[in-house]
A and B are shown apart, each in its own frame.
Chain A
């Protein structure tokens, strides 16, 4: 057998040329360890976010107030779980199994989007989550359709189509409530008040404070900066709020151009508190996932045992 020693420098150059020429990196291609590790962290975190994100909206499935709204909500939550599946699939192409990703989540070694650590307290929260949280996610994900890792970019194309649908459905709920009774208007404004800042925090720290941005931008994993994406989101969302009579809960919000706004200071202490496990629902969300996983252990064992016996 002939052993070929691959020259690391040549491999790195080939990899960097691909990145420079917008050629997607595929699972069998050589890639630097740092690139692989960054993607493992980012894609699995994204997958966990989709799955944990099923919980806050799931809190309202049994109380959805009409057959249509129940159907839309359940289908939406099912879509989020489906996104989790594509993303676990994309992350597995990097050489780590879904079981391992789930173990890391349960051990607290992997994170998920902090926004899902906030509670969903009234029906309008279902609207606000779709409109704001999915809206913020799309702003980020549209740029990720051009990310350099092929399986991730392709998963994003599919996910974006569904997310933009969710965003419209969420906005429709808010719209309906703002056209409804005084109680409904109060619920809608209350939901916006509670979800606005967590949605802005979804884009992460200011660019100057973001430790992972450097390499991620160089390797074209990340195509736009946190602050730029946050700006895009608020410029798009504020006119939508105004159109239906909702007030953005930011006394320092300023209009700085045509459809351009500058937001007041974000409470970064709260941001870091929630990331570090001290949000209102961190413990509850994780325990729910662990409980379901433990309750299902015998089912997975049964399916594996049956599969082995049937071979």
Chain B
């Protein structure tokens, strides 16, 4: 059961942390429609995280609730990838980070629908519909950036160059992930990786954008070794639960 809980929270942590970064962007969008679209994606991801944390808390069966898993951990207990915790930069940076995750989520969730775990399979079905829309939106933005103005193309390329180093980690299976593979519960990340590379290549081609020359990769999130910025994200997020541990909100 411990293995399954760890796998559940790995998925939920990714959704929750990315949602947090998007939510930080509220009222800072380039125009109102896009501001609201960004919050919409944040809400979809938050809803997904909430349902998985709640289910993981039930599996724990020690009286904890979903919020405890989301709010009460220390930095090294979160298993989200480094990519989702990267701070917001300009709109190109935000959208390139989103695009990389949308492509990943799209193929990941499509595979998850086939999981032998009924709960995860249902999460896959529900969230895939939402992520299909997210992916359409971020892909369209990449093409707009690439073919819009010189400035937008430069900004998008700079964001790709900065964020590319965090992408391989998405496809590195954690120990729990590997253990659940034989039971048909977890997703085969190798197959997701192939689809991810194809889709990213296709959108880059349509947008006249390129993979960076520097292919160096960083990892650590999945084993609890996060970026410096992540501590600040948690310090803010956990402020009230830490300051008033007995309060119910």
Please list the residues of chain A having a beta carbon within 8 angstroms of any beta carbon in chain B.
51, 54-55, 58, 61-63, 65-71, 74-75, 77-78, 81-82, 84-85, 88, 123, 176, 180-181, 183-184, 288-289, 291-292, 295-303, 305-306, 309
Contact = CB atoms under 8 A, between A and B. Distances in A.
B36 A81 contact: yes
A62 B53 contact: no
B27 A288 contact: yes
Which residue of A51, A54, A85 has the most chain B CB atoms within 10 A of its CB atom? A54
Contacts of B176: none
Given A51-B32, A184-B244, A302 B144 contact: yes
B148 A302 contact: yes
Given A66-B71, A88-B32, 10 more contacts: A58-B27, A62-B23, A78-B36, A123-B240, A184-B247, A295-B90, A296-B34, A301-B151, A302-B151, A306-B143
Given A183-B244, A299-B34, A66 B27 contact: no
A121 to B, nearest CB: 13
B159 to A, nearest CB: 13
Contacts of B49: 67
Interface of B is mostly: helix
Interface in B12-53: 16, 20, 23-24, 26-36, 39-40, 42-43, 46-47, 49-50, 53
Contacts of A66: 67, 71, 249
B46 A67 contact: yes
B240 to A, nearest CB: 4
A3 B159 CA distance: 59
Contact of A65 (B42, B50, B145, B249): B249
Contact of A62 (B20, B71, B145, B147): B20
B46 A71 contact: yes
Which 10 residue pairs spanning A and B have beta carbons closest together? Answer: A296-B30, A302-B148, A302-B152, A299-B30, A65-B240, A65-B249, A306-B148, A78-B39, A54-B27, A67-B50
A82 B26 CA distance: 13
B236 A63 contact: yes
Contact of A295 (B28, B39, B50, B237): B28
A65 B236 CA distance: 10
B99 to A, nearest CB: 15
Given A66-B249, A183-B244, A299-B34, A74 B26 contact: yes
B119 interface: no
B246 A61 contact: no
B28 A292 contact: yes
B23 A309 contact: no
19 contacts: A55-B27, A61-B23, A65-B247, A67-B46, A67-B53, A68-B67, A71-B50, A74-B39, A75-B43, A77-B27, A176-B249, A180-B249, A183-B244, A295-B91, A297-B30, A298-B151, A299-B152, A300-B31, A309-B147
Contacts of B241: 65
B104 to A, nearest CB: 22
> By DSSP majority rule, is chain A's interface helix, strand, loop, or mixed?
helix
A65 B244 CA distance: 10
B247 A183 contact: yes
Contacts of A288: 27-28
Interface of B: 16, 20, 23-24, 26-36, 39-40, 42-43, 46-47, 49-50, 53, 66-67, 70-71, 90-91, 143-145, 147-149, 151-152, 155, 233, 236-237, 239-241, 244, 246-249
Contacts of B30: 292, 295-297, 299-300
A302 B143 CA distance: 10
Nearest to A85: B32
Nearest to B236: A62
Nearest to A288: B27
A65 B50 CA distance: 13
A183 B42 CA distance: 30
B82 to A, nearest CB: 19
Nearest to A296: B30
Nearest to B154: A298
B33 A85 contact: yes
Nearest to A78: B39
B110 to A, nearest CB: 25
Given A63-B237, A74-B43, A302-B149, A69 B91 contact: no
A1 B64 CA distance: 80
B26 A176 contact: no
Contacts of B32: 51, 81, 84-85, 88
B240 A63 contact: yes
B40 A65 contact: no
Contacts of B145: 302
A301 B249 contact: no
B14 to A, nearest CB: 15
A93 B242 CA distance: 50
B249 to A, nearest CB: 4
